[in-house]
Amino acid sequence: MKALEKLVTERLYLVPLKLELLKAAIIGIDELATILGVKVAADWAEQELIQAFPDIANILLQFPLQNEWGWGSLIIHQTENTLIGHVMIKIIPDVTGLPTDAVEIGYQVAPLYRRQGYASEATKAMMDWTLSQPGMQTVTAGCAPDNIASKRVLEKIGMNLIEAREKVLVWKLSRVC
């Protein structure tokens, strides 16, 4: 499998969130903005993600493939040159910790940029790239049952609802061989 490099969509750049950028983000948003050479939208990421950056950095250090792919990508608005969100790829390991043929995908976009198709555009590009990698077969995602916007993103990018649990809807898309 090849390392994730910057992806370009119609309106976005997707920059892999690898160890170097995670370290910058841990230092602070100004450091991240300087390294990326961008402005940063308010609330581009939820505090839960920002607080998890040190743990994510440790995961990238421990798992070479996850490090090559990064923790997904930062979403940069092309015309505004602004960091507006993040789309996650988490490789799902087997019981021994080795990668399987599946990943979990997630996304978040700054409130000012929601309801404009950016989450769908970024997540679709990341999902398509993932499923184009040798050996990758399945992308999964989860969202709260009452999160209508998130459900709409998953429907729009072609994922299928496969299970409704009490607090999460589980979505899946498998590569057609």
DSSP tag of 71 = S
For 21-41, the pLDDT digits (tens) are: 999 999 999 999 999 999 999
Domain 7-174, classified CATH 3.40.630.30, yes or no: yes
Instruction: Report the predicted TM-score, pTM, of the whole model to 2 decimal places.
Output: 0.93
For 80-94, the pLDDT digits (tens) are: 999 999 999 998 877
Q: Which pLDDT score, from 0 to 100, does residue 177 have?
A: 60
Nearest Cα neighbor of 103 from 75, 68, 74, 66 is: 66
Nearest Cα neighbor of 153 from 106, 84, 104 is: 106
Nearest Cα neighbor of 153 from 103, 112, 115 is: 115
